[in-house]
Amino acid sequence: MQFVDEVTLEVYGGDGGNGAVAMRREAHRPLGGPAGGDGGHGGDVILRADQGLTTLLDLSYQRVLRAEAGEHGRGSDQYGKGGKDKTVRVPMGTQIFDSESGELLADLDAHEQTFIAGKGGRGGRGNMRFVTATERAPRHAEDGLPGQHRKLRLELKLLADVGIVGFPNAGKSTLISAISKARPKVADYPFTTLVPSLGVVSRGHDRSFVVADIPGIIEGAAEGAGLGLRFLKHIERTRVLVHLITVDPDPERKPLRDHDVLRKELARFDPALAERPSIVVMSKLDVTEAREAMPQLKRTLKRRGIELLGISAATSEGIPELLNAIEKLLADNPVPTAPRAAPLPRGKKPKDEPEAEDELAEDEG
């Protein structure tokens, strides 16, 4: 299924029906009188969060949502039927903005949570409603009110407990496949994964957590390089991050430098992300070069106060230890972190950001 995380829409609440002007003409009611009924209210356009959805794809094909109009009132005291609501399901984590003002109107972060995107118009009153002591046979009624019209922008931010971040080809897709039932496409070349993937990791009876594989972040991602800027937003709501690093055939890529660049890009996008509880993991220990690089990298990170775990998703080595560490961090951090702060100006470093290159020269020669 194609992944779509942003769409623009026009929504129209249903118009209210007009009230009727009618007089009684019944043999057993010689005095007659007004008998025009009210118009029906227009239907609402309703957006409803659904935990079973992970993309806004369906809405990308229906850019206009219109609820049903209310029926007009009729004679003989008959009210018009109310218009049917137009209810559309969207993924949990969908934020709804007014596309003209930019105002955040709703954040649908719970299953079955709803937002009335376009309110239906009120039905007009029929002439039977306007009887007074001095006007016993009114011959006027109200028109129904038009439904609410809005232009909206919907933006999806995936709801996951854990976000896996790393450079392209670091093994993120293989890891999420090994620990959950998610099956992203995997191949031996960079940028294999072009969309985020969600997987549920089961840890026994009533114990599970949701993990998101975020497509490859590269240097400059926070400023729009590669795919990072588009997908960095999907880790804003995660409670724990897994920084995945490994040895890459590219001589410009070093595990320690990759780790430092990841932290830098996260901080540039949102300073709070650099401080989020995280686990640093060396992947692909089934590859000789990665296993040989592990001891030195572990010592270097330990001097920074960072524990390094090692795994092989291919052989399951280290996977139980990683899942235990993730579960412990989630238990220690049950409340989501604060909302995203404003991004720093382009090219500006976060305050007190460590310089990676000097230590790289010392440890990686």
The set of residues, in sequence order, having a beta carbon less than 8 Å from that of 150 and lying 6+ positions away, is: 10, 11, 98, 117, 118
Q: What is the pLDDT of residue 208?
A: 79
pLDDT in tens, 213-234: 776 565 544 444 444 455 667 7
Tokens 């790289």, residue? Answer: 360
* CATH match of 162-364 with 3.10.105.10: no
Q: Which of 143-157, 167-181, 324-338 is the most confident on average? A: 143-157
Q: What is the pLDDT of residue 201?
A: 83
Residue with the larger pLDDT of the pair 131 and 200: 131
Q: Which residues of 272-310 are buried (b: 16+ CB within 10 A; e: fewer)?
A: ebbebbbbbbbbbbeeeebbebbeebbebbeeeeeebbb
Cβ-contact 182, 213 below 8 angstroms: yes
Instruction: Please spell the DSSP secondary structure of 1-34, one letter per residue.
Output: -----EEEEEEEPPPPPPPP--B---TT-TT--B
Predicted structure pTM score: 0.65
Share above pLDDT 90 across residues of the chain, in percent, rounded to a whole number: 41
State the helix-helix crossing angle for 288-303 and 356-364, rounded to 10 degrees.
Answer: 130
Mean pLDDT of 246-252: 79
Flag whether pLDDT at 31 surpasses 60: yes
The whole-angstrom separation of Cα 86 and Cα 59 is 13
Q: What is the pLDDT of residue 335?
A: 53
The whole-angstrom separation of Cα 167 and Cα 50 is 31
Summary mean pLDDT of the chain: 81
Flag whether pLDDT at 79 surpasses 60: yes
- In the structure encoding, which two tokens stand for residue 77, read together? 């005291």
Residues of the chain with CATH 3.40.50.300: 162-364
Q: Domain 6-156: which topology?
A: Spo0b-associated Gtp-binding Protein; Chain: A, (2.70.210)
Alpha-carbon torsion, ordered 53, 342, 221, 177, to 10 deg: -30
Burial class (CB within 10 angstroms; exposed 0-12, middle 13-18, buried 19+) of 146: middle
Q: Which residues of 238-249 are buried (b: 16+ CB within 10 A; e: fewer)?
A: bbbbbbbbbbbe
Residues of the chain with CATH 2.70.210.12: 6-156
Mean pLDDT of 295-308: 93
pLDDT in tens, 63-74: 899 999 999 999
SS3 content of the chain, % helix, strand, coil (to 5): 25, 20, 55
Q: What is the DSSP letter of 162?
A: E
